[in-house]
């Protein structure tokens, strides 16, 4: 194998996997997303090439990965989060395989759970949520979200998105019948320096999130009310433990 697709995790450089870090440290070429922590890019000290992905189209990126692989360079494509959770990792694997290059995927910690977790929200909790629905608020394929289906899904809803899409998404879920009092949170730059968040009822969350920056993650569901878990356990005396 010469090309590795490695998940860098949600932002905090300590959340890359041990295997991923070893590959970054040993690679000859690194191609990295703009959201990858600078500390991880620095770990690729021995690399001849360190190429930011920013500004490249997906097709240009694929061509660069293929060229590096054909040169026989140990290449790490370092991607934010997990390559297979809205990371377009499948497209990069497919392009490399079509070019006859072997490729290995090293999974990463997804923002899905780590970012809600960073504000004390477990996406599942016994007796509170036993189901998680994950969507992207700005689908690469341009598909429209099925708000009726999302509003009726039990448990926790997590949306990866840019904040510009937040008002439309909240309006869509509310119009489809989701209880306006459902607890919700928006987390900006979760696990990164400058992380910030807003919490409140669904029908107030757009206003509460004013001033937060993209990228952001929206989490909707009763688990958000557990956000005090780390700080205010006395408020949660009704929850089952053990």
Counted residue by residue, the chain has a size of: 242
Q: Smallest gap, in angstroms, from Cβ of residue 183 to a second copy?
A: 14
Burial 9-40 (b: 16+ CB within 10 A, else e): bbbbbebbbeebbebbeebbbbbbbebbbeeb
Nearer Cβ to a second copy, position 128 or 204?
A: 128
Spell out the residues 6+ positions from residue 70 whose beta carbon is closer than 8 angstroms to its own: 99, 101
On whether the CB atoms of residues 116 and 184 are closer than 8 A, the answer is no
Q: Smallest gap, in angstroms, from Cβ of residue 139 to a second copy?
A: 5
Nearer Cβ to a second copy, position 209 or 219?
A: 219
Spell out the residues 6+ positions from residue 46 whose beta carbon is closer than 8 angstroms to its own: 25, 26, 27, 28
Q: Smallest gap, in angstroms, from Cβ of residue 113 to a second copy?
A: 5
Q: Which two tokens stand for residue 236?
A: 């949660």
Nearer Cβ to a second copy, position 174 or 239?
A: 239
3-state class (DSSP) for residue 201: strand
Q: Smallest gap, in angstroms, from Cβ of residue 1 to a second copy?
A: 9
Nearer Cβ to a second copy, position 32 or 86?
A: 86
Q: Smallest gap, in angstroms, from Cβ of residue 166 to a second copy?
A: 18
Nearer Cβ to a second copy, position 118 or 188?
A: 118
């Amino acid at each position: 194998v010469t090309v590795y697709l490695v998940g860098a995790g949600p932002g905090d450089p300590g959340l890359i996997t041990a295997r991923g870090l070893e590959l970054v440290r040993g690679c000859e070429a690194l191609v990295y997303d703009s959201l990858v922590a600078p500390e991880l890019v620095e770990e690729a000290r021995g690399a001849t090439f360190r190429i930011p992905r920013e500004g490249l189209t997906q097709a240009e990126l694929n061509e660069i990965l293929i060229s590096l692989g054909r040169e026989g360079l140990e290449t790490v494509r370092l991607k934010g989060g997990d390559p297979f959770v809205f990371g377009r990792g499948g497209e990069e694997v497919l392009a490399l395989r079509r070019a006859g290059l072997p490729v290995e995927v090293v999974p990463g910690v997804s923002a899905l759970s780590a970012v809600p977790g960073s504000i004390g929200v477990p996406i599942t909790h016994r007796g509170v949520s036993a189901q998680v629905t994950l969507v992207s608020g700005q689908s690469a394929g341009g598909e429209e979200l099925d708000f009726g289906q999302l509003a009726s899904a039990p448990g926790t809803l997590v949306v990866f998105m840019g904040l510009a899409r937040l008002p439309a998404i909240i309006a869509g879920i509310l119009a489809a019948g989701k209880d306006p009092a459902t607890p919700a949170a928006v987390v900006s730059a979760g696990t990164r320096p400058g992380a910030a968040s807003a919490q409140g009822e669904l029908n107030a969350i757009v206003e509460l999130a004013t001033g937060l920056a993209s990228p952001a993650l929206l989490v909707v569901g009763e688990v958000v009310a557990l956000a005090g878990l780390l700080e205010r356990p006395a408020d949660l005396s009704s929850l089952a433990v053990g």
